[in-house]
Structure 1
Amino acid sequence: MTRPRWRDAFFLLSPFATVLAVMIAIWIGYGPPTTFYEWTQTIVQLVPAIALLWHRKAPLAILALCAVCAVAMTVSAYTDPQLFIGDVRYDTQFVPLATPFAMGIAFKRIPRSRRMWLCSAVLIVISVRAWAPTFTMFTSGLLFTVFPALFGLYIGNRLSLIEALTERAERAEREQELLAEQARADERVRLAGEMHDVVTHRVSLMVLQAGALRITAPDDATRTAAEELREAGCQALAELRDLVGVLRTHSDSDEEPTDAVRLPDLAELVTESQGVGMTVELIVDGNPLLTAPVVGRTAYRVVQEALTNVRKHAPGAKTRVHVRYGADRVRLTVRNGPPRETIDRELGDSGSGTGLLGLKQRVELVSGRFTSAARPDGGFEVDAILPAFVPTAESHGD
């Protein structure tokens, strides 16, 4: 979660603003600097305060600057007090007013830096006047340097702990998502196995019975019907095998298809529609042999259902089927104009009303995208984008 900008500005400007407020209060009480010594005393305080504006980028440099100023103030106290300090009293601090902020920020951001510890030691020794210790100076020195350092160290450790806990929570959430995805994949495999065992057994019996009927039928009509039934059953078994393969495997394989020659022929489907009086134009771009069987069958079903809907809801309409085979995807568009003949309401209401929904689900099952919408001229358009290859159990050698 990101913090508001005003909070960033507050934490960036507050150290400098605090020191500046103290200096302004001193100026109000004692007057603004006018002499050379008053300006040098102001500069030695103001420069570290201004440097606090860069406390996020250069905490060590600011701490070192405070240490240099503290050394200069200490030397001035015993050589020329008016240069950097002014009137020296028993409780006068020989470190800049920015020191507490510099100490806290350094211990928060770079607690393992050896140079930071060296600069901090210099400031602590000067602040408590280790060469002439008194209770007052020792107490004020601790409050001015050690306590801010401990507070900064606490804040830094607390932020590190919060960051670690946040990362752990995010990692646990990702692991839960992976476990849920694995559970869904296992359930798909189980359902695929059950569907394969149950449906394949029944359809196989139908194919065998149709084959037996074709042999034993007493007349040609019965034999022809039996042969058509057997071929339909064989085709259903092939489609079922592809569908089960999609359910059993993931769609991230990069293997190439090896049996694209078994694609259904869209030209035959269009010819059948033309044979019943429909005006259908088929446009094919690209090489269909580069498409996996399951994708080709899905495309076939999309065109088949779209043409069926045209026959029901737009009789006499001009229809164009445009199929584009690419290196990585197949796009097919079935577009028809407005109906030119009277719509047969009984025929239009004969379906279940879920054909387009079923097509969408079938397309999404192979990681495709399906859209359908009415056109401004009163016609209708079906658009499907399919991946060129979806690995199945068969392509993996199962």
Structure 2
Amino acid sequence: MTDRPWHRRHRVALDVTIAVLFTLVDTVATVLGASWWPERPGTLAWVMLVLQAAACLSLAFRRRAPLAVVTVLGAFTLAVSLLIWPAGALTPADGGQVWAPFSTALAAYGPLFYQGDCRGVRRNRRRAVIALVLFTLVVARPWQPSATIITIGLLRTAVGPLLAMYFDARKRLVQALTERAERAERERHLLAEHARAEERARLAGEMHDVVTHRVSLMALQAGALQMTAEDEATRQAAEELRAAGCQALEELRDLVGILRTEPEGDDRTHRTPSVAGLAELVAESSSVGVPTELIEDGDPALASPVVGRTAYRLVREALTNVRKHAPGARVVVRVSYGEAQVRVAVRNTAPTAVAGGSPLAATGSGLGIPGLRRRIELVHGTLRAGRAPDGGFSIEATLPSYVPTAETAV
């Protein structure tokens, strides 16, 4: 509140001061013959002088009731004009003067500028314009044609409204620019928040894909070691390692849920292997007891980098799901590279053991297939996943061979 200028913090005092100053100026100017004052003032002249002072003091309410102030000063000016002509009750010392007091210039400023602050007017600009037109007619006295009086009257009542319209337009422009700047700042903040949320989702999705794949391999290798170990100590250590791996996967699922991860796959993680890493994925699955075969047709170089990474993620997620939910199944990974499309298919046979008996089966986040589908749709591909007739499961994706990215443009 103290930061505001003095004239804004003390508007009432300022308006009263202005009204008193204009009253004094008009009173002195009238007595000195600059208006309607007669050479030999009588009782009526003094009464009208007092009424003029009261009318000028109404300027103190020019913000709250601008139309009322115009009405009061217009009524006084009209009364003086009628007393002079045709009544002839007053005879000015100089008949070529404008009978309206100088306060009319400031009063004419109010209706167009302060009407937005006036509760009774309700921004009725039409009413304000009509009032100012009538006010101008009273001040200019067109029924007594005089070029000088009409010109002075028009200037006295027109300068104020013109200034009012200018300052009102300027105020609205500044307000609109301020609101636009504030809106742009809010939008920038929202975009930054959205970008951070997307980055969190992407990182959490990558963490889910990579860590789940590796830890599930560790858990399966520990289980295999437990079955083949000859001494009890090794078997016990392998069991602890397997249990720790399963617990890590469970905690990872909870963490991914907290982060509300929904992988958006913007392919900015250039460290993700491409189709060249498929053979390693297959070898890892075979080493932990999941018989896996890789069949590749065509030239892998036909797949652009983003397509290669997407295919790698699909195979990795599919093999991870087989280890979790289809123990004992055999897997065939088939990748066909063409000039227009890359087709990836991962099919597994029916499991030979009960899937629910594996501790890994309960460690999924439930975001694997949906995340893959979103990634593939980002590169304008299609994904189909579902049960196979033989009781197994099949994941098939069709991707465009070439998807332009910044790295391919180099």
Q: TM-score range by the shorter chain?
A: 0.5 to 0.7
| 1:80-106 per-position Cα deviation (integer Å, ceiling 9, x unaligned) | 554xxx725233323343211121111
Aligned residues: 250
Q: 1:116 maps to what in 2?
A: 128
In the TM superposition, residue 70 of structure 1 has moved relative to its aligned partner by 2.3
8 Å contact from structure 2 (residues 112, 165) kept in 1: yes
Whether 1:20 aligns to 2:23 is yes
Give the 3-state SS of the residue equivalent to 2:108 in structure 1. Answer: helix
| 1:43-85 per-position Cα deviation (integer Å, ceiling 9, x unaligned) | 3323333322222222222222222222222222222554xxx
Q: 2:60 maps to what in 1?
A: 53
8 Å contact from structure 1 (residues 200, 237) kept in 2: yes
| Structure 1 residues 249 and 63, CA gap change in structure 2 (3 angstroms) | farther
Give the 3-state SS of the residue equivalent to 1:232 in structure 2. Answer: helix
Q: Distance in 2 between matches of 1:6 and 1:46?
A: 27
Q: 2:184 maps to what in 1?
A: 172
Whether 1:104 aligns to 2:116 is no
Equivalent position amino acid for 2:222 in 1:
A
Q: Distance in 2 between matches of 1:131 and 1:224?
A: 117
In the TM superposition, residue 197 of structure 1 has moved relative to its aligned partner by 1.6
8 Å contact from structure 2 (residues 205, 261) kept in 1: no
Q: 2:207 maps to what in 1?
A: 195
Q: TM-score, normalised by structure 1?
A: 0.55
In the TM superposition, residue 222 of structure 1 has moved relative to its aligned partner by 2.2
Select the residue among 127, 141, 162 that pairs with 1:129.
141
Select the residue among 249, 267, 270 that pairs with 1:237.
249
| 1:212-236 per-position Cα deviation (integer Å, ceiling 9, x unaligned) | 2222222222222222222222221
For structure 2, list consecutive stretches of 5 or more residues without a partner in the other structure. 34-40, 116-122, 263-364, 371-410
Structure number with larger C-alpha Rg: 2
| Structure 1 residues 235 and 40, CA gap change in structure 2 (3 angstroms) | farther
For the aligned residue pairs, the C-alpha RMSD in angstroms reads 3.2
Q: 1:343 maps to what in 2?
A: none
Q: Distance in 2 between matches of 1:50 and 1:90?
A: 26
| Structure 1 residues 94 and 221, CA gap change in structure 2 (3 angstroms) | same
For structure 1, list consecutive stretches of 5 or more residues without a partner in the other structure. 251-392
Give the 3-state SS of the residue equivalent to 1:41 in structure 2. Answer: helix
In the TM superposition, residue 23 of structure 1 has moved relative to its aligned partner by 4.0
Q: TM-score, normalised by structure 2?
A: 0.54
In the TM superposition, residue 5 of structure 1 has moved relative to its aligned partner by 4.9
Q: Distance in 1 between matches of 2:78 and 2:253?
A: 85
Q: 2:95 maps to what in 1?
A: 90
Q: Distance in 2 between matches of 1:120 and 1:3?
A: 36
| Structure 1 residues 35 and 3, CA gap change in structure 2 (3 angstroms) | farther
Equivalent position amino acid for 2:177 in 1:
L
| Structure 1 residues 46 and 182, CA gap change in structure 2 (3 angstroms) | same
Q: 2:150 maps to what in 1?
A: 138
8 Å contact from structure 2 (residues 219, 245) kept in 1: yes
8 Å contact from structure 2 (residues 222, 239) kept in 1: yes
| Structure 1 residues 194 and 13, CA gap change in structure 2 (3 angstroms) | farther
Percent identity, please.
41
Aligned counterparts, 1:144-163, within 5 A: 144-163=156-175
| Structure 1 residues 81 and 117, CA gap change in structure 2 (3 angstroms) | farther
Q: Distance in 1 between matches of 2:15 and 2:252?
A: 65
Aligned counterparts, 1:312-351, within 5 A: none
Aligned counterparts, 1:253-268, within 5 A: none
Q: 1:75 maps to what in 2?
A: 82
In the TM superposition, residue 22 of structure 1 has moved relative to its aligned partner by 1.0
Q: Distance in 1 between matches of 2:70 and 2:366?
A: 69
8 Å contact from structure 2 (residues 74, 139) kept in 1: no
8 Å contact from structure 2 (residues 220, 242) kept in 1: yes
